[in-house]
Every structure is written in structure tokens, then in C-alpha cells.
Structure 1
Amino acid sequence: MTVRPIVRWPDPRLSQKCAPVEGVVPADLIRDMFDTMYAAQGRGLAAPQVGVMQRFFVMDCGWKEGESAPMVMINPVIMAAERIPEVMEEGCLSIPGITVAVERPKAVTVQWTAAEGDIHMADFDGFEARCIQHEFDHLNGVVTLDHLGPEARSTAEADYLEKLK
């Protein structure tokens, strides 16, 4: 088990768009990312959050409820999103201790490559859809704070920076 350090905001890597994965993601990197995610009590972890600037993430939305379903999404593309949005509080392993209200579509259709190289497409809703969108944001250099208006962002940033002291 290798737990990697998680990149914390305001590290500039969290604001950069990631490069597409060319070839295969090393199995040990995928294992390390799951180990890191579970150790941090997360449900998703994108490659830039461990300093790897490539377009993939790991997730396991049900493990805390005993329904583990680990997934790796390489070069994911959100093909469609439900028009009806939903606002929910979101936390982020790169901005620990802070949750913010983020509006996202309730359901998405995603195409991705699995670790084995197979291409998949599936519909996701509920928390899985939210997790995918959150991790997908990381691949595009977007963090939860970027979804806030100026005043709410300023307050959230101040709260986060105060907790770092």
C-alpha cells in the first residue's frame, strides 16, 4: 500500500488542464491512487491531485456503505448531461475541511477507457454523476471554489486558509 501526498489548493497544478493519456496507465499508479483515496476517506481522486497531469481518475462511490465498486476512468468524455441541475454541498481532498454548494446536472452519460483498455459508455445519476463531474473538473483545472461567485469564493478561501494556520 502506497499512499501518495495529495496536492493541496492553491497549488497551480490544480488550475491546469491535463494532457490526454497516451498508452497505458501503470497499474501501480492506479493502486496508489486507490490507496490514497481510501486513506483520505474520499470517494474519488483525479490524477492531478497526486501531481500526475494526465486525464484519468479513480472513484468508488459506495465503499463507505459497504458497496465497493472501484472504477478507473481514463480520458473520460461527458457525452450528455441532464438539463435539470441539483445543488449539493461538495468537499474536496485537495481543499480539506471546506464544503461548498455546487450546482451540477443530476445525471450524465460518460465515455471512457478502462484500465484494461476497453472503451465504455454508461449513464450515471445521483452521487456517482456528481463524483464523476467533480473529478472531471479536476482534469480541466477546475476546483469546487471555481463554481462560486466572488463573494462566496472569498469567504470559502478565507475559511480554508484560516484552517491551515
Structure 2
Amino acid sequence: MRKGSIPGSKGRVRPLRLYGDRGLGMPCEEVTEFDADLAELVEDMFASMYASGGVGLAANQIGVPLRVFVYDCPDDEDVRHLGHLVNPRLVTADGVTVRGPEGCLSVPGLEAPTERFDRAVVEGFTVTGDPVRVEGTGFFGRCLQHECDHLDGGLYLDRLTGFRRRLAMRAVRRIAP
């Protein structure tokens, strides 16, 4: 991603992988090459996220099994957080547990109340290999946890239990291709 350019403006929109795609359930591989291909992937991820109306997108959601995600997400005070993380690691998830509505571009049309911690800290790298630490609270903290789950092969649906899970899975079966 070039300095000064709008994220995704040079990227191409890639098709999203939907619930049931085996790649969504597999842990992603570490990035080992911080090169032009990685920068292009990040650009494509931003373009794909924006085209789908999301606030975050993990690489495996467009069929690339690498530990990369992008975000353009507000927090609860409506402060915009824009960026990407390569080889992210969730180092802290703490604070109060909040059950809030959560959706996913890979499970379109469905939202379910999902428990998450109110605060998350993620460490990783930029596309150029520079270390970065991102802290989020509220909705942005939820986003960071959600995207880290994707890279570990999980979906927010996996966090649901009991009646909420049964209800969500029933809805997924109705909308799944």
C-alpha cells in the first residue's frame, strides 16, 4: 500500500468465501515475504471489504490462507480506526464481557448476539514488516477479536451456545447456498 493513497483504491474486488467453505475453518499460515504481492493482497482486501460494506476482512475470507486482516471500523465513540495487520497475535482481550450484535461478511444477512471482551490488544506487522500494536475498545475491540478468530479458523457462530446457537444455525441453513 503506497503512502498517501486511499486504501483499496488500487485493489481489485475478490469474491468472498461464504459459510461452509472449508478454507474458513482452517488456521491461516504466517506471512514470510513482505513484498509487492503482500501489498497487493492488502489493497485487494480493502477493496473487497469496502465493496461488501464490511468493517473488517481476513485474508481467508477471500480464499488466501495467510495471517492478514484489514479494518476500517469505528469504536463506541465513533472514532475511525483504519489499518491492516500482518501476522497478528491477540495479546490481550479483557475488560467487561459484552454481548452485542455481531455479523460477518462470510455469513451474509445474519447477525447474532455474541459475547466478547470490551478491550483487545493485537500485535503484528505492517506490509513493510514494521512492528505495530493496535488497541481497541467497544465495537473496534470486537472487530479485532473477530478478525483474529477468522485467522485461527473460527467464525463468530462458533462462540454461540445453547438457544442462540440453535437459532443462528437454523437461520444459516435457510440462507446458505
Superposed pair shares fold, TM > 0.5: yes
Counterpart-to-counterpart distance in 1, 2:116 and 2:135:
15
Residues of 2 paired with 1:104 and 1:151: CA distance? 18
Runs of at least 5 residues in structure 2 that lack an aligned partner in the other structure: 1-10
Distance in 2, matches of 1:150 and 1:20, equals: 34
String of CA shifts for 1:126-145, please: whole Å, max 9, x gaps. Answer: 11111010000000111011
For these two proteins, the number of residue pairs brought into alignment is 162
Q: Quick check: 2:19–2:176 contact (8 Å CA) kept in 1?
A: no
| Mapping 1:51-62, distance limit 5 Å | 51-62=63-74
- Which one of 57, 80, 86 corresponds to residue 45 of structure 1? 57
Residue matched to 1:113: 125
* Coordinate RMSD, CA, aligned: 1.8
Q: Distance in 1 between matches of 2:79 and 2:162?
A: 38
Matches within 5 A, 1:60-79: 60-62=72-74, 69-79=81-91
Could you tell me which amino acid in structure 2 is paired with residue 90 of structure 1? E
Structure showing the higher strand proportion among its residues: 2
DSSP 3-state at the match of 1:60: strand
2:94 is the counterpart of 1:88: no
Gaps of 5+ in 1: none
Aligned AA (2:13) = V
Which piece of structure 1 moves more, 3-12 or 21-30? Answer: 21-30
State the one-letter code of the partner of 1:17: P
1-10 or 147-156: bigger deviation: 147-156
Match of 2:25 among 5, 8, 15: 15
Aligned to 1:3: 13
Q: Aligned partners of 1:48, 1:122: CA distance in 2, in Å?
A: 21
Which amino acid is the alignment partner of residue 57 of structure 2? L
Moved more, 51-60 or 123-132: 123-132
Alignment match, 2:116: 104
> For 2:98, what is the secondary structure of its paired residue?
strand
